[in-house]
Structure 1
Amino acid sequence: MLLTPTQSSFFALIILSFGSFAALFTVRWPRLSEYLWQKEAHNALGIPFEAEIPESISTGRSRCESCHHTLSWKDLIPILSYGLLQGRCRYCQMRISPHYVLIESTCLCICLPLLITCHDLIELSLNSLLMCSLLTAAIIDYQHKLIPDECCLIALAAALLLNIHSGTLENAVLGMIVGYSAVYLLRWGYLKIRNIEAIGLGDVKLLATLGAWLGVLHLTTLLLYASLIGILYILLYREKNKEPIPFGPFLFLSGIIHYYYLNL
């Protein structure tokens, strides 16, 4: 897809805005989810629950985590504001976590090659939305071992629309069904035999989304890549403990790698 330098720069700004929203989502969604779980547990036990509800993704202005000062637009320019402020809050001078700028940069890195692989604006927009949604899910899974349904639904809708646009909807639907069924049955069998939940339902939904995106014929390759990346992660970084390993990030990396392998 041929774009002018101005159009390419505008696309990069949009992706950075997606990344900024994704970074905010990875912070606020887990907090709100934890609050709702605690509230539900207290209500079930008949115990008063007076904790203050955290801000959701759709309400409340962005604030400094240290001084809670409301941030203005000049404090929220993706990447640029962090660099100009040297990673510190303008108001209290406390160090700002690089969490936001890293996610913004990652969104830009995984989406910029789409300018080469995509053939029109619809394909470019849907692939960008899908990749940013998958990245958000992978980060939350890595940090909290949870995969938000919101991310999977957005990515799945984008994947199906992409295949409608390209005339391959049947392949996408089949990939979604086979991807979901295969891993769900594996999860169910392991649970019955070993009484251990080896695979979370979030991973099942994520693979169904990847199947809808790339098609049924690529599911085996996706699982192979994800497994190899997981093994490499264990060999290089895994400490010797029994905490479960989130599989979502490996599925995400597998999907991105295989997409660009097929299209570049």
Structure 2
Amino acid sequence: MSFGLRLYIDFIVFLFGAVAGSFFNVCIHRMPLGQSIVNPPSHCPKCNERIRWHDNIPLVSFLVLRGKCRHCGAPISPRYLFIELLTASLFLAVWLKYEMSWLAPIYWVLVGGLIVATFIDFEHYIIPNEITYGGIVAGLALSLVYPPLQGVEEAGRSLLLSLLGAFTGGATLLLIALVGEKLFKKEAMGMGDVKFIAGIGAFLGWQASFFAIFASSLVGGIVGLVLVMTSRKGWGSRLPYGPYIALGALLWIFFGREFLDWYFNFLTG
């Protein structure tokens, strides 16, 4: 493949990611409110005017409109631009790592769920069932259809590995939640987090489940400690856990194989 063609394909992937990010913004805004993500068409939440296509171009329209509604001048959250840029960048990064493989578009599905869940959890402290149950079903189905997702060739074995990943991830985090509830006499984490890690396990397998739990606990603990030390949060304050699980899953997507190689080399000396 020539350099020019490769660059063109990469650019198309980046644009596709930006378009997907625009859709994820709709999901993030509407899902917690129980609204349809299809109807009505995009509109300003302040004046309810429908957003025309030329004001809804990913990345471009926000900059052209200077972050304001064309009709009423209400400010548009910079989060919309950020998520479009984030999604475009992650889609491109996944493509560059797994190009010429069906793993890339499959991981795009997972990355989309991670992004939507992260920003909903940040704002509302929930992860909708559409994301968690949808992730479990999608992970199982895609593992059956494309066994290399689980690193094998047989569809039946791939499905079993996907089920194992969902079960071990969900069961482990559920056990941690129950122990935490006993120790602290209050809910340690929501069931949304448990179902969320189960969905990740269905996509990535049991090793990824354990890695995501470990990484999320480590990063979440550090962030929580920093927030307490800077007086932004008090001990026992509520923190969303889903974003750190999502970060752990992303780290696995990009560096999971390298981590396993390092770990086995460490064990064997």
- Which consecutive unaligned segments of at least 5 residues does structure 2 have? 153-157, 259-269
Query: Hey, what does 1:255 align to over in structure 2?
Result: 249
Q: Give the distance between the partners of 1:128 and 1:214, measured in 2 at CA.
A: 13
- Is the Cα contact below 8 Å between 1:134 and 1:155 reproduced in 2? no
- Is the Cα contact below 8 Å between 2:32 and 2:124 reproduced in 1? yes
Query: Hey, what does 2:206 align to over in structure 1?
Result: 216
1:64-104: CA deviation from partner (whole Å, max 9, x where unpaired): 23322111000101111011112122222332211211111
Match of 1:143 among 119, 123, 126: 123
Q: Give the distance between the partners of 2:30 and 2:129, measured in 1 at CA.
A: 15
TM-score (norm 2): 0.81
Q: Give the distance between the partners of 1:97 and 1:219, measured in 2 at CA.
A: 33
Q: How many angstroms does 1:253 deviate by?
A: 0.6
Q: What is the identity, as a one-letter code, of the residue corresponding to 2:127?
A: I
- Is the Cα contact below 8 Å between 1:184 and 1:204 reproduced in 2? yes
Query: RMSD over aligned Cα, in angstroms?
Result: 2.3
Query: Hey, what does 1:24 align to over in structure 2?
Result: 26
- Of stretches 3-12 and 132-141 in structure 1, the one that deviates more from structure 2 is 3-12
Q: Give the distance between the partners of 1:158 and 1:117, measured in 2 at CA.
A: 22
Q: Give the distance between the partners of 1:104 and 1:240, measured in 2 at CA.
A: 29
Q: How many residues align?
A: 242
- Which consecutive unaligned segments of at least 5 residues does structure 1 have? 33-54
- Of stretches 115-124 and 249-258 in structure 1, the one that deviates more from structure 2 is 115-124
- Of stretches 182-191 and 200-209 in structure 1, the one that deviates more from structure 2 is 182-191
Match of 1:196 among 181, 186, 189: 186
Query: Hey, what does 2:75 align to over in structure 1?
Result: 95
**Change beyond 3 A, Cα 1:67–1:154:** same
1:36-68: CA deviation from partner (whole Å, max 9, x where unpaired): xxxxxxxxxxxxxxxxxxx52121121123322
- Is the Cα contact below 8 Å between 1:126 and 1:158 reproduced in 2? no
Q: How many angstroms does 1:182 deviate by?
A: 1.7
Alignment of structure 1 residues 49-88 onto 2, 5 Å: 55-88=35-68
Q: Give the distance between the partners of 1:144 and 1:240, measured in 2 at CA.
A: 17
Q: How many angstroms does 1:136 deviate by?
A: 0.3
Alignment of structure 1 residues 220-235 onto 2, 5 Å: 220-235=210-225
Query: Hey, what does 2:266 align to over in structure 1?
Result: none
Q: How many angstroms does 1:171 deviate by?
A: 2.2
* Residue 245 (structure 1) aligned with residue 239 (structure 2): yes
